[in-house]
């Protein structure tokens, strides 16, 4: 076999197609070979080897399927047909549902709708992790004038924060100000040489801390915290609430779609239950 296959986007008429293998009454055509069999830079020998390898795998699978079809007992054949019918129906239903969702379902969710759902179901949104709003700075241990950072990082004055940000832009390896964003405390712990057996007690007792190792100095300010098993802050789970609303809306939409089709069949005498 001395050809290199490149599959086409369009399948030509059956009489124009080039067969490359036949297993029983099943034919593999040149245009059915995967496009990625031959990649740029592959030499002729490798291309031919890849193509022949694919054809052999195709042939083995088709021959096995033919043998199975010829030798299955009627009971097993009936089960195969049943499963194939079920799979076809499920695929048709899924694709139709997706088409209807795209065409007809409202996917706009307003801020007020999200907040209203959160408030009505607030007791169901329980934190499983501790959250913090924090300032985090990581400096090389030999950074100049680290004392300036010690003076500024605890401050919340705008001018001090501006001075700190300017310093960190020059010398800090990390400067993250999560002043208006909740993040899991464990995410912060991964960045610093701090081990705590009791995160909750540590958060209650610490506001601003300085940590060191052989290479770096770390500064942390915990501006706010929320402990696990408490109600999750709205800002933290806003996206989750929106997803819940859309999922509920999707379920309602699909149920109404199914009910409508069922009732239409009854009305038009297209359904008979014996």
Q: What is the pLDDT of residues 48-106, one digit of tens each?
A: 998 999 999 999 999 999 999 999 999 999 999 999 999 999 999 999 999 999 999 99
Question: Is the CA virtual torsion 243, 199, 202, 140 positive or negative?
Answer: negative
Give the pLDDT score at 15.
Answer: 64
Each residue of 79-107: b (16+ CB within 10 Å) or e? eeeeeeeeeeeeeeeeeebeeeeeeeeee
**In the chain, where does the domain assigned CATH 3.10.50 lie?**
127-226
For the segment 141-146, the average pLDDT, to the nearest whole number, is 94
Which is more confidently placed, 271 or 255?
255
Of 153, 179, 155, the residue nearest 167 (C-alpha): 153
- DSSP, collapsed to helix, strand or coil, labels residue 210 as strand
Residue 32 pLDDT > 80, yes or no? yes
Residue 147 pLDDT > 70, yes or no? yes
Give the pLDDT score at 37.
Answer: 85
Q: Are strands 19-23 and 26-29 parallel, antiparallel or unpaired?
A: antiparallel
Give the pLDDT score at 21.
Answer: 94
Which residues, in sequence order, are CB contacts of 109 under 8 Å at separation 6+? Answer: 242, 245, 246
Mean pLDDT of the chain: 91
At 273, phi and psi to the nearest 5?
A: -115, 120
Q: Do residues 222 and 230 touch, judged by C-beta distance below 8 A?
A: no
Percent of the chain scoring above 90 in pLDDT: 80
Give the lowest-confidence range in 36-45, 95-104, 124-133, 165-174: 36-45
Give the pLDDT score at 9.
Answer: 44
Looking at the domain 127-226, which fold is it?
A: Chitinase A; domain 3 (3.10.50)
Q: For residue range 196-224, list pLDDT tens digits in order.
A: 889 999 999 999 999 999 999 999 999 99
Question: Is the CA virtual torsion 111, 116, 121, 125 positive or negative?
Answer: positive
Residue 271 pLDDT > 60, yes or no? yes
Residue 158 pLDDT > 80, yes or no? yes
Give the pLDDT score at 12.
Answer: 53
Distances (CA, A) of 190 to 52, 158, 168, 200: 50, 28, 20, 16
Residue 6 pLDDT > 60, yes or no? no
């Amino acid at each position: 076999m001395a050809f290199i296959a490149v599959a086409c986007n369009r399948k030509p008429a059956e009489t124009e197609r080039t067969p490359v293998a036949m297993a029983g009454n099943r034919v593999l055509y040149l245009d059915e070979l995967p496009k990625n069999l031959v990649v740029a830079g592959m030499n002729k020998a490798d291309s031919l080897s890849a193509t022949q390898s694919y054809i052999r795998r195709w042939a083995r699978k088709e021959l096995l399927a033919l043998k199975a079809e010829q030798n299955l007992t009627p009971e097993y054949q009936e089960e195969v047909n049943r499963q194939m019918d079920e799979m076809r129906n499920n695929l048709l239903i899924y694709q139709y549902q997706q088409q209807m969702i795209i065409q007809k379902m409202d996917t706009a969710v307003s801020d007020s709708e999200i907040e209203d759902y959160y408030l009505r179901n607030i007791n169901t949104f329980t934190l499983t992790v501790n959250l913090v709003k924090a300032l985090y700075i990581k400096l090389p241990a030999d950074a100049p004038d680290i004392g300036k950072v010690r003076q500024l990082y605890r401050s919340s004055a705008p001018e001090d924060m501006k001075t700190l940000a300017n310093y960190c832009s020059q010398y800090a390896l990390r400067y993250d100000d999560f002043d208006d964003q909740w993040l899991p405390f464990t995410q912060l712990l991964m960045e610093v040489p701090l081990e705590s057996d009791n995160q909750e007690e540590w958060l209650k007792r610490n506001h601003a801390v300085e940590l060191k190792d052989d290479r770096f100095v770390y500064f942390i300010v915990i501006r706010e915290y929320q402990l696990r098993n408490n109600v999750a802050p709205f800002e933290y789970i806003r996206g989750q609430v929106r997803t819940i609303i859309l999922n509920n809306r999707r379920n309602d939409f699909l149920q109404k779609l199914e009910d409508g089709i069922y009732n239409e069949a009854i009305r038009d005498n297209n359904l008979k239950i014996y």
